[in-house]
A and B are shown apart, each in its own frame.
Chain A
Amino acid sequence: MIVRQLCLRQARQLRALPRQSRILSRFSSTETTVETAVKTPVRPSPVEPGTSSGFSATEVEAYQQKVQNKHVFHSFGSKVSGAYRPESIIRSPPKPSEVTLELLLACQTHLGHSTSRWNPQNSRYIYGVRDGIHILSLDLTAAHLRRAAKVVEEVSARGGLVLFVGTRKGQKRTVVRAAELAGAYHLFERWIPGSLTNGQQILGHCEKKLVNPFDEQVHMWENEVEEYPALKPDLVVCLNPLENEVLLHECGLNNVPTIGVIDTDANPTSVTYPIPSNDDSLRAVGLIAGVLGRAGQAGQKRRLEEAQKGNLTYERMAPLVSTENVAKPSPAHLPLMNVSDGQPVEAASAAPSAVEPARTEAVSAEAASAELSSVELASAEAAGTEAASAEAANAEPTIAERGTDSPKKQQ
């Protein structure tokens, strides 16, 4: 029996898988194969006597001379400058203030999809039709990109958790680099459905840590931190909303703001802050992710600078242990328990000037599983406030005054 077409059940996930298109049955032969009478004769190439490689002695000599000359003259000649280097968009992406319409045009952000595939909700982002495709309006792209950059910066400056998601082929390095710049988290493989709506089951076992305002890990309340509910991002940047419908739906259910790259065939209402742009070009997506990464970097820098001055850019976290527990703390916790809301001035001056975000290590993790745990690790950031004040040693203990409820009960 010859199985001509293996038709898989048309599940939605299977359809999303990249696989070879079906070969029409009229192209496949129905007869058994017949061997041709003569196989392709392999004729050995005639070898010149004397030389084994087929080159004459003068040619070999000339070649050697050429190689030698190349070596000698290598340092001379003109230097190539201003050439296009595809890596540069990943290595050193521009800041939001450096984005120009020319740059957007060169990065192909204006190219939309075929006119027949458009989502009419995007009509206001479209400049016109050219050669059968929609052309996106670059001034709108720039405006929306700057607005989104502002959001990323503000959220990062307030110590929010940002998650960069780009699950298309080839977007891995872009996403990782953007997250690295912004001190954020990244996802380049499949979003596990339920990571937000059923986070406690899926991510509950992941590691969490507590950090102070200078992003240094603080070892206190270790049991409480371990039992802390699974964390949720404060902002999700999605580079391919078409493939991540589930993620965006979950963000909607959990009330998480989202930023998305909206091509002419995507639904602009699926995200909070759409950026009308081409999402198929790696260069376009790289530019957008890079700009947002730079914005996040600026936000993180601002937050750390404020922390150096002794200001917190976010609300202080409630203590994780109840008042009764504080009354008899374990000896290990004793020095740290001198926590207060006094100004951590001394701590600020004593703190190292340039603190690498603790999250960065998690960010550069390659595997998807590490990915999700990194989201979890983010709890460090959320919990960071209290630890900060722990640094300020000389102040009266005021823990008892504060409420003991867990700050996050969104589920």
Chain B
Amino acid sequence: MGKLNLTALRVRQTAIRQKAVGKFDKLPKWVDAIADIPPAQAIVRTPAQQHQLVRQRVKSIPGASKPQVVFEVQEKPIKPKKASRMFQPVELKYEEDLLRKEFFRDHPWELARPRIVVETTGKDAEGHDWSRIQQRGKGLDGESVVQRQLWLLNNVPDMTKSFAYDTARREFYRLRLQEDIERRVAAEEAEATGATFGPSRHEIGMELESKEYERWKTWAKREALVSDQRTAAFTGAESQGDKPEEQSTDDVTQALTE
């Protein structure tokens, strides 16, 4: 059969033929079970699905009373293709991609915030309405800005990309500030009613760092001493090279003690 092994796809035909030549008396149970459910077509190549980047915009036309929805399709460069390329999958592109890239280029630390990406039913996005930036059941993050900007571009007449970006960002910053204040007030309230918070992560980090620094200081002092002694033993005590060496170790110890 060459490269292809089609045994698995032809189980039913094989079973029927084996019965016909008397290999067994009774057909296996599954033969009539799968009679109505043929195996999937394999090896048939279908042309790959093509994806086009479509932009939706609302434009006000001078003569018309109402603004009109316009769809722009990104023009693809028509290049002569090899026939085999016809079956290769095409890159998926969406309008949000560029908006997302821009936002996270300007706000790289937004990527460091924790975010929920897991979904239970996959229908979370159905309840979202991006005519406002805050959504029920979704935390405010960079994606909110991107989606809000996209909604503005798609639905507001004569909207430009930069104006949509500014609008979405302004809303985002305002809500972020509000969140900060809420968090601070909550902490104050909690402390007022008897809550105690341990040292913060930053404080713990600093403490660990200073501990490590102290350890290194002891080790460096001892190392310097050993190095001095080795030099002294090699060159003889009170030699010429001894003077500057001692000077340098003194510098080190002095620097360390400061």
In chain A, positions 140-162 with a C-beta closer than 8 Å to chain B are 144, 147, 150-151, 154-155, 157-160
Q: Categorize the interface residue count of chain B.
A: 35 or more
- A162 — nearest CB in chain B belongs to which residue? B30
- Among B7, B48, B121, the residue within 8 A (CB) of A102 is B121
Are A270 and B122 in contact (CB-based, < 8 A)? no
Question: In the complex, A78→B219 CA distance in Å?
Answer: 55
Are B121 and A106 in contact (CB-based, < 8 A)? yes
- Among B92, B122, B123, the residue within 8 A (CB) of A128 is B92
**Interface secondary structure of A, over-half rule:** mixed
Q: Say yes or no: A269-B42 contact (C-beta < 8 A), given A62-B196, A154-B37, A234-B30.
A: yes
Residue among A115, A253, A257 with most chain B CB within 10 A: A257
In chain B, positions 92-107 with a C-beta closer than 8 Å to chain A are 92
Q: Say yes or no: A235-B196 contact (C-beta < 8 A), given A106-B119, A269-B42.
A: no
Are B89 and A269 in contact (CB-based, < 8 A)? no
Stretch of B10-18, B54-62, B68-76, B238-246 with 4 or more beta carbons under 8 angstroms from chain A = B10-18
Q: Say yes or no: A63-B196 contact (C-beta < 8 A), given A124-B45, A407-B25.
A: yes
- A290 at the A/B interface (Cβ < 8 Å)? no
Interface string of B137-165 (1 = CB under 8 A from A): 10000000000000000000000000000
A31 to chain B, nearest CB (A): 18
- B205 at the A/B interface (Cβ < 8 Å)? no
Interface string of A188-217 (1 = CB under 8 A from B): 000000000000000000000000000000
Are B14 and A59 in contact (CB-based, < 8 A)? no
- Among A101, A154, A251, A269, the residue within 8 A (CB) of B9 is A269
Q: Categorize the interface residue count of chain A.
A: 35 or more
Contacts of A248 on B, CB cut-off 8 Å?
A: 8
- A129 at the A/B interface (Cβ < 8 Å)? yes
Contacts of B39 on A, CB cut-off 8 Å?
A: 272-273
Are A84 and B120 in contact (CB-based, < 8 A)? yes
A355 to chain B, nearest CB (A): 19
Are A41 and B215 in contact (CB-based, < 8 A)? yes
Are A126 and B48 in contact (CB-based, < 8 A)? yes
- Among A36, A38, A130, A314, the residue within 8 A (CB) of B92 is A130
Are B40 and A123 in contact (CB-based, < 8 A)? no
- A60 — nearest CB in chain B belongs to which residue? B196
- Among B8, B32, B48, the residue within 8 A (CB) of A272 is B8
Contacts of A102 on B, CB cut-off 8 Å?
A: 121-123
- A91 at the A/B interface (Cβ < 8 Å)? no
- A69 at the A/B interface (Cβ < 8 Å)? yes
In chain B, positions 168-215 with a C-beta closer than 8 Å to chain A are 194-196, 214-215
Q: Say yes or no: A252-B92 contact (C-beta < 8 A), given A38-B222, A273-B39, A407-B26.
A: no
Question: In the complex, A359→B29 CA distance in Å?
Answer: 18
Are A124 and B44 in contact (CB-based, < 8 A)? yes
- Among A37, A155, A273, the residue within 8 A (CB) of B29 is A155
Contacts of A405 on B, CB cut-off 8 Å?
A: 25
- A273 — nearest CB in chain B belongs to which residue? B39
Question: In the complex, A270→B43 CA distance in Å?
Answer: 12
Q: Say yes or no: A127-B9 contact (C-beta < 8 A), given A273-B40, A314-B29.
A: no
Please provide the 10 A-B residue pairs with the shortest distance between their CB atoms, ordered closest to farther: A102-B122, A106-B122, A252-B7, A154-B33, A128-B92, A106-B119, A160-B29, A130-B92, A126-B89, A234-B30
Listed by A's residue number, 9 A-B pairs whose Cβ atoms lie within 8 Å are A84-B120, A126-B48, A255-B14, A255-B18, A257-B11, A258-B8, A268-B42, A274-B40, A409-B25
- Chain A residues within 8 Å of B, Cβ to Cβ: 36-38, 40-41, 43, 59, 62-63, 65-66, 69, 82-85, 100-107, 115, 120-121, 123-124, 126-130, 134-135, 137, 144, 147, 150-151, 154-155, 157-160, 234-235, 248, 251-253, 255-258, 268-274, 314-315, 403, 405, 407-410
